[in-house]
Amino acid sequence: MDRKIISTAAILGFIAIILGAFGAHALKKVLTIEQLTSFETGVKYQIYHALFLLFAGSTNLISEKAKKTLYYLVVFGVILFSGSIYLLATKNVTNVDFSVIGFITPIGGLLMIMAWGLLFLNILKRKA
């Protein structure tokens, strides 16, 4: 599981860097400041959670069961949260109104919050 978690962390980080550069250079010319700021929020949360997975896959402080749950919470959280933000922020470029999927952004955020909470609880219950 650790290899899968760390590999996913690397992929999420890789994609976040590419999207961040794309946003800073190509999208800067076609998005409003508000849309660009929103897009950057998606990138930031994706990179934060890539680092989160990197930590989770590298530590012995949490059980394998907890790692598996953290993995799915983070992956689906990033897809729903950051993915929906990317789509919503780039509607001027794609000419597709993705506002109907706006409700999934907070669901993704909740999944990521749950992952952090689970990490905290697992660290707390660990025997010293």
Task: Supply the pLDDT for residue 82.
Answer: 97
Round to whole Å and give the CA distance between 112 and 116: 7
Task: Supply the pLDDT for residue 6.
Answer: 96
**Type of residue at 102:** G
Q: Is pLDDT above 90 for 125?
A: no
Q: Is pLDDT above 70 for 128?
A: no
Please compute the mean of the pLDDT values over residues 9-25 and round it to a whole number.
95
Round to whole Å and give the CA distance between 65 and 55: 15
Task: Supply the pLDDT for residue 83.
Answer: 96
Q: Phi/psi class of residue 95: alpha, beta or left (left: φ > 0; alpha: ψ in -120 to 50)?
A: left
Q: Is pLDDT above 70 for 15?
A: yes
Share of the chain above pLDDT 70, in %: 99
Q: Is pLDDT above 90 for 117?
A: yes
Q: What residue ranges do the domains of the chain occupy?
A: 2-125
Instruction: Give the chain's end-to-end CA distance (angstroms, integer).
Output: 24
